[in-house]
A = this chain, B = another copy of it.
Amino acid sequence: MESIMIYMPIVLAILGLIYMTIKQKWVMKQDAGDGKMKEISDHIYEGALAFLKAEYRLLAVFVLIVSVLLAIVSFVVPTTHWLIVIAFIFGAVFSAFAGNIGMKIATKTNVRTTQAAKSSLPNALKISFGGGTVMGLGVAGLAVLGLTTFFIIFFHFFMGGVWTNTMDMTIVLETLAGFSLGAESIALFARVGGGIYTKAADVGADLVGKVEAGIPEDDPRNPATIADNVGDNVGDVAGMGADLFGSYVATVLAAMVLGNYVIKDMGGNIGEAFGGIGPILLPMAIAGAGIIISVIGTMLVKIKSNDAKENQVMGALNLGNWVSIALVAISCFALVTWMLPETMKMNFFGEGLQDISSMRVFYATLVGLFVGAVISSITEYYTGLGKKPILKIVQQSSTGAGTNIIAGLATGMISTFPSVLLFAGAIWASYALAGFYGVALAASAMMATTAMQLAIDAFGPIADNAGGIAEMSEQDPIVRERTDILDSVGNTTAATGKGFAIASAALTSLALFAAYVTFTGIDGINIFKAPVLAMLFVGGMVPVVFSALAMNAVGKAAMEMVQEVRRQFRDIPGIMEGTGKPEYDKCVAISTEASLREMMLPGLLTIGFPLVIAFVPMLFGMDNLAIAEMLGGYMAGVTVSGVLWAIFQNNAGGAWDNAKKSFEAGVEIDGKMTYKGSEAHKAAVTGDTVGDPFKDTSGPSMNILIKLTCLIGLVVAPILGGHANDAMTVENEVSIEKVVQDGNTQVIKKAAIEKYTDGSAKATVKTTTITNGIENVKEETFKGSFEEVKRKVKELGDNVTVSVLEKE
């Protein structure tokens, strides 16, 4: 049983994917309506396909370029294996495929939801949430399947499928990092490109349609309306999916890397159980269990009454979510006690090796689940309708757009307070419990519910689209009312989902950061070294500049859309009377091209900076470990600043949005009820204009920025790190001898020889003598030719056994 545990996650992932296929078939069998409904839905579907196609074309070029670069690196740097290229390509393909499944099902489910809403709200929920479930399981299933499969392949390729030593496992995991890098690269395109797409279409459609032509939202006469609806899917479905796919893979990978280090801290061998790699398998096992748990969770989401209100729908989603979290906690307990040694040794900085019981690892997973749950509540508080911060923004709208915007900015800024304290507390607690392995497992546990989270999250834009289709095809008002209930719940889940995505990105980055330090073999990252501090500054600046570039990109792309819509209104006869047909595809093409073009610069910034920091100082002959430390400072800067700006922008944007929406039901300002169309509402609309790129483009992009930065660091790590250095160690074997002389003298000797590829070597001999209460520690190093050094070590005395392992 134990020995086949390595295949367990694959089996669970396949089970999840089978369930997904069944659900997919079921959704597709539902009535897709007819006439105008179908026509509009087809337009959206085709628009989405057009975006995917264009994206894939660009992706293919990107993947090709990066593959060539990786291949060159793998040939030049001896310890980087060319298999990383294969892993990279498959990581990209798997993520793209998951996005494809999600987009297709989302754009097929929307019209079916509208159709179902004609007769039944419970059915409409069942269908829209079914679509979300397909998306969620597709992402999680493919992530686990891909990562686990490649791990097994590399485990067999490099180690013959049996435990040898931590060094070999490091090479396995370094190669596996390619899969994660591929996945996160797709996320860059989907999240950043998608974010620009969705807002360019939205702003373009609104500016000309609503403001200039005076036609309502989702009016089929507006040429940009299809692009707008496609945008919801591109941004919220494909973007979010790729984001979480990347987080899922990266988190599990980082936890595996740190699991390998637990084994190292325990002396390089922990016995036969689970092939000797229990701590490495554990995160994969939790991820696998999470898929099945999510399936159970999604089954619980249903309502019975056709007259249900938002509360009941929300309640159904919450039930599924909370049950999933509880089940993950239980399975973490079971897996941790089963798979980990009862007591482990972990190396804590400045405190040395400590005994850590497996129970403490379990507590660390609880910390992760806690963070996932609480961050959603925090987000909900700062952006939820009827909550104090929103009411305050509404009040401030009465004195104009200026005060509305100040209030929104302040809300987003203040919301960093509880969020950051939560993250800081989680880092501290999970580290105190089980070191960085604890931090990574906290992240893994939180991410285990990814499929469920995505189902809840993807259901929102589906319901939104369903409402749009109901409007465009001029359905009975009751249909729109029902989809509006779903849409309104979807808006809340969208905000909380963003909170979950930030938390996952933050914890993932921390885990990657920890894995990075272990990969490079540096002692730590000391920001008292000026170059490291300088890079911390530079890293802190990048998210700010990235956000600005993303916002400017939206502005530019939206302007192109405005020109095109204006042209169509001018050139196509009878368009306003509904007799001329707008050229939807031209608008779709514009946002597609503009979004992919405009994401180049921020993408270049993301990828370019860490590479410049890693390789330019090398040209000037800087020490590799010093560079590794600088790059670590940069990564920390990006992470800290990126998390802050993500929270700030997402919550400010969400708050403005709901402040605007508050006017729809009417709000009381200075004792007077105020509605849509009032001056205060206009001010709130201005605030929402600012908030749109915040919450849908630059804010969510931060997740990708910080994860991709840390991943690039991780992939570069072996090049900078100890065992990849040009004239670097071939092996570093330590043999320990203890000799007790007399009654009151104890001598402990340790010797280690590092042999370099240039034939030279360095020996370190540490002798601790304790006599009459005096502790004497002697550390000697010898440098010279390998033979000389070996002789010198031998000379030191009989108590030292020298074992040198040569390799490569």
Contact = CB atoms under 8 A, between A and B. Distances in A.
Interface of A: 207, 349-350, 396, 399-403, 405-407, 409-411, 413-414, 416-417, 420-421, 423-425, 427-428, 430-432, 436, 439, 510, 513-514, 517, 523-531, 533-538, 540-541, 544-545, 547-549, 551-552, 555, 626, 632-633, 636-637, 640-641, 643-644, 648, 685-690, 693, 772-785, 788-789, 792
A431 B537 CA distance: 15
Contact of A528 (B403, B525, B538, B778): B525
A779 B781 CA distance: 9
A413 B542 CA distance: 10
29 contacts: A401-B402, A402-B686, A402-B688, A402-B690, A406-B555, A410-B548, A413-B545, A414-B548, A416-B541, A420-B538, A423-B537, A428-B530, A428-B531, A524-B528, A525-B526, A526-B526, A527-B633, A527-B636, A540-B540, A540-B640, A540-B641, A773-B784, A773-B788, A774-B782, A776-B781, A776-B792, A777-B779, A777-B781, A779-B779
Given A401-B686, A432-B530, A779-B779, A644 B792 contact: no
Contacts of A406: 551, 555, 689-690, 693
A513 B688 CA distance: 41
Nearest to A605: B417
Contact of A403 (B555, B644, B788, B789): B555
A537 B400 contact: no
Nearest to A629: B350
Contacts of A788: 772-774
A525 to B, nearest CB: 5
A555 B407 contact: yes
A528 B521 CA distance: 12
Contact of A524 (B436, B529, B541, B782): B529
Contacts of A551: 406, 409-410, 413
Given A517-B528, A530-B439, A783-B775, A535 B424 contact: yes
Contacts of A776: 780-782, 792
A780 B783 contact: no
B690 A533 contact: no
A538 B643 CA distance: 11
Contacts of A401: 401-402, 686
A548 B641 contact: no
B540 A644 contact: yes
Number of copies: 2
A669 to B, nearest CB: 14
Given A416-B545, A540-B640, 5 more contacts: A349-B528, A400-B689, A416-B544, A637-B640, A773-B785
B689 A403 contact: yes
Contacts of A349: 526, 528-529
A416 B540 CA distance: 10
Given A525-B526, A784-B773, A421 B690 contact: no
A430 B530 CA distance: 9
Contacts of A514: 528
A552 B416 contact: no
Q: Which of A349, A439, A523, A648 has the most chain B CB within a 10 Å cutoff?
A: A349
Given A349-B526, A349-B528, A530-B431, A536 B640 contact: yes
Nearest to A784: B774
Contacts of A403: 555, 689
Q: Please give me the 4 A-B residue pairs with the lowest Cβ-Cβ distance, nearest first.
A: A402-B689, A431-B530, A413-B548, A524-B526
Contacts of A430: 530
A346 B686 CA distance: 57
A527 B530 contact: no
Nearest to A774: B784
Nearest to A411: B548
Q: Which of A416, A431, A527, A784 has the most chain B CB within a 10 Å cutoff?
A: A527
A527 B524 contact: yes
Contacts of A534: 423-425, 427-428
A745 B693 CA distance: 70
A652 to B, nearest CB: 10
Contacts of A527: 524-527, 632-633, 636
Contact of A540 (B420, B428, B517, B774): B420
A94 to B, nearest CB: 31
Given A420-B537, A648-B544, A776-B780, A410 B552 contact: yes
Contacts of A688: 402
A398 to B, nearest CB: 11
A710 B244 CA distance: 38
A402 to B, nearest CB: 3
Contacts of A693: 406
A432 B643 CA distance: 31
Q: Which of A207, A401, A517, A779 has the most chain B CB within a 10 Å cutoff?
A: A401
A641 B642 CA distance: 11
Given A525-B526, A640-B540, A533 B427 contact: yes
A409 B549 CA distance: 11
